[in-house]
Structure 1
Amino acid sequence: MAALQTPSAVPKPPKWQIYLAFAAIYIIWGSTYLGIRFTNETIPPFLMSGLRFVIAGTCLYLYARIVNKAKAPTWPNVKAATIVALLLILIGNGGVAYAELTIPSSIAALLIATSPVWVVLLGWLFFGNARPNSRTVIGLTLGLAGMVVLIGPGQLTGHALDMVGLGIIIISTIGWTVGSLYSSVAKTLAPPLIHTALQMLAGGFFLLITAALRGEVASFHVEQVSLKSWLAFGYLIVFGSLVGFNAYSWLIRVVPPSQASTYAYVNPLVAVILGWLFGGEAITWQMLLAGAFILPGVILILRAKAKTSKPQVVPEEAT
C-alpha cells in the first residue's frame, strides 16, 4: 500500500471504533505474512499477487468513483501511480511473496520491521529529509544490528537460512521504502483512494506480466489449488487489502501519527505468533535476539519522528 497523504482532521469518534481500527491493523496486517505462505502452497507467488491486486484495485477504484464520487484520474496521476506501483507492488509485495517460498513468514516479518530504518537512512541520504538525531541514530543501530543477527551465521539456529530469499526480502523492503518516499514528494498524485487503486491495478499488471514471463501462468492449474490457499487468497484481498487499508486510512485522521505508527512493531509479533500457532514455524533464540534489537530500535525511530508532520509509510504487507 502506498504512503498516504494525511487528510484533514475529523471529529473524534468513540473509543471503541478507534480500538477496533487498531485491532484491524495489528492483527490483520500481522497475519498477511502467514496468508501469503498459505497461498504459496498451491498458487505461484507472482500470479497470486497479481490477481490479488488487480481484484482489490478494481474494487477500490469502483468504490472511490461510485460511492465517494471521486473524479477520474488524469494521465499524470496514472503515471505517478505506475512508478510507485513498480517499487511498492512489484518489488515490494511481489518480492516478499516470492521470498516466502523459502523463508518462514515470521522471519520475513521481522526483517520487514526494519522498514523505518530504511526510511530514515534513504530519506536523509536521497530525499532531503532531516539528519537523524541521537535517538534516531540509536534506533538505526539497534535495527541494523537485529538484521545482522537474523541473517547471520547459522550456528545460532543450527541451520542456515536461505540467503537468496533473505536478500530478496531486503531488496523488496528497500524498494518499498523508495516507493513510499517518492510518494511523499510526488506532485501529481491522485486523491488517496484513487491513487491507491491505481497503484494496485498497475502493480497487479506488472506482477501478472512477471508471472507470465516466469511460466507461472502456463503451468498453473486451478483444480490443483487447495481450499486453504483459496481461503488465504480471499482473506488477503478482502481483509489484507481492503479492510486493513480502510481501517488505517481512517485511523490516521483521528489519532496522532505516533500512535498509528505502532503497527510497525506490533505486526512482527503477531506474525511470529501466528506462524508458530498455525504455520508450524519455530521460534528460535536467533529470532528472539533479533527481535530484541529490531523492535526497540523501531520504537525509538518512530518516537523520534512523532513530532514531524511527514506522511506515514504503510507497512510492506499492509495491502
Structure 2
Amino acid sequence: MMSDTPVQTPSLVRELALLAVLATLWGASYTFIRVGVETIPPITFIAARTLIAGGLLLAIIRLRGLALPRDPAMWKRFFIQACINSVVPFTLIAWAELTVNAGLATILNSTTPIFAFLLTVLITRHEAVTTRKVFGVAAGVVGISLIIGLEAFNGIGKELVAQLAIVAATISYAAAAIFGKGFKNLDPMMPAAGSMLCGAVILIPVSLVVDRPWTLAPSAHSLLALLGLAVFSTALAFVIYFRLINTLGTVGTTSQAYLRVPIGVGIGVLFLGESLSSTAWIGLICVIAGVAAMTLPARRKAAIVA
C-alpha cells in the first residue's frame, strides 16, 4: 500500500524538477491534440496515440524484466479502465478541440478532482464531506459556468456542445480514478500499459471503418503532434508519474494539477495565439481554487502539550 509520506531522497530538487516536467508534459497535451486533429480525424488520432503509448509502456515493462498479467479477469478490468480512462475521454477531448482552443480544454479538464469527489459522495460515499470540499465544488462549478459563459443562453451551438464534451470527458476521468483504485496491488505501470493496449484494440477497428486512415493525408505538423503526444505526454509522462509516486508520495505528485492549468493555458497562448475572455480568466482562478481546496491535504492539528 502506497503512503502519502514522501520518501526522503538526497536529490529533492531533481524530483521537484521532474514534477514540473510532468505538469508541462500534461499541460502541453492539449496543444498537441489541437494541432494533431487539424488533419487527422479524432478517432484515428487517439487510436494511434494509445497504440504508440501502449507499445512504449510495454517495451519499458519488458526492459524492467516484468510481464503483463495473464489473468482474463484482470484484462477485463483493463478493458473497462481503457473505456473510461482513454477511449471515451481521449476521443471526446480530441473531437472537442476541433472547435475549442487548448487553453479552455485545459481549464475544463482540470476539474477532475471535483467530479471524483462528487461521484464518491453520490456512489461510494467513502469521502468525508467537509466545508473546504463543499467550497471546492462550488468554486469549480462557478468556474466552469464562467468559462462556458453566456453562450449557454444562446441555444445549443457547436461550441457549447464541444465544451460540454470536455466536461463529460472530465467526469469519465473521475470515474476512472475511482475504478483504478482496484489496481493498487499491481505495479502501477501494468494497468497503464494494459489499458492503453486495450484502448488501441478498441479504437483501431473503428478507425479503419470510419476514417479509412489509408486515404488520409496528414500534415507534418499533425504527425509531429501525434508523436509528441504519444511519446512525451502519454508514455514518458506515465513513467515520470510512477517514479514520483514513490519519491514524493501521492499527495505531492497530485500537486502537478496546479501547475498544469497555467502551463497548458500559457502554451496555447504562446504557440497557438489563443486568447481567453475576461470571464474565462476569472473562471480559471475559480477552477484552480476549487481543485486546490479539493486536493490539498488538511493541516494536522498541533498536539497539545501538557
Quote how far apart the aligned CAs of 1:29 are.
Answer: 0.8
| 2:155 matches 1:162 | no
Inter-CA distance 275–207: structure 2 relative to 1 (3 Å threshold):
same
> Could you say which residue in structure 2 is the equivalent of 1:314?
none
C-alpha contact 2:20 2:259 (8 A) present in aligned 1: no
Q: TM-score, normalised by structure 2?
A: 0.89
Say what the alpha-carbon RMSD is for the aligned residues.
2.4
Q: What is the rounded CA distance, in whole Å, between the counterparts of 2:169 and 2:298 in structure 1?
A: 23
Inter-CA distance 176–71: structure 2 relative to 1 (3 Å threshold):
closer
The count of residues paired between Structure 1 and Structure 2 equals 296
* Aligned pair partner of 1:217 in 212, 218, 227: 212
* Aligned pair partner of 2:13 in 8, 11, 16: 16
Quote how far apart the aligned CAs of 1:14 are.
Answer: 0.7
C-alpha contact 1:251 1:260 (8 A) present in aligned 2: yes
Q: Deviations over 1:19-58 (max 9, x none)?
A: 2211211211100000001111111111011111112112
Q: What is the rounded CA distance, in whole Å, between the counterparts of 1:167 and 1:155 in structure 2?
A: 10
Matching residue's letter, 1:269: P
2:67 aligns to what SS in structure 1? coil
2:106 aligns to what SS in structure 1? helix
Inter-CA distance 33–201: structure 2 relative to 1 (3 Å threshold):
same
Quote how far apart the aligned CAs of 1:211 are.
Answer: 2.6
Matching residue's letter, 2:15: I
* Aligned pair partner of 1:204 in 200, 204, 210: 200
> Could you say which residue in structure 1 is the equivalent of 2:148?
151
Inter-CA distance 261–54: structure 2 relative to 1 (3 Å threshold):
same
C-alpha contact 2:44 2:213 (8 A) present in aligned 1: no
In structure 2, list runs of 5 or more residues that go unmatched. 301-306
C-alpha contact 1:127 1:181 (8 A) present in aligned 2: no
Q: What is the rounded CA distance, in whole Å, between the counterparts of 2:42 and 2:152 in structure 1?
A: 30
Rg comparison, structure with higher value: 2
Alignment of 1:227-266 (within 5 A): 227-266=220-259
1:153 aligns to what SS in structure 2? helix
| 2:44 matches 1:44 | no
Matching residue's letter, 1:191: D
Inter-CA distance 278–191: structure 2 relative to 1 (3 Å threshold):
same
Matching residue's letter, 1:44: P
Residue identity over aligned pairs, in percent, reads 25
> Could you say which residue in structure 1 is the equivalent of 2:97?
100
Inter-CA distance 265–191: structure 2 relative to 1 (3 Å threshold):
same
| 2:22 matches 1:25 | yes
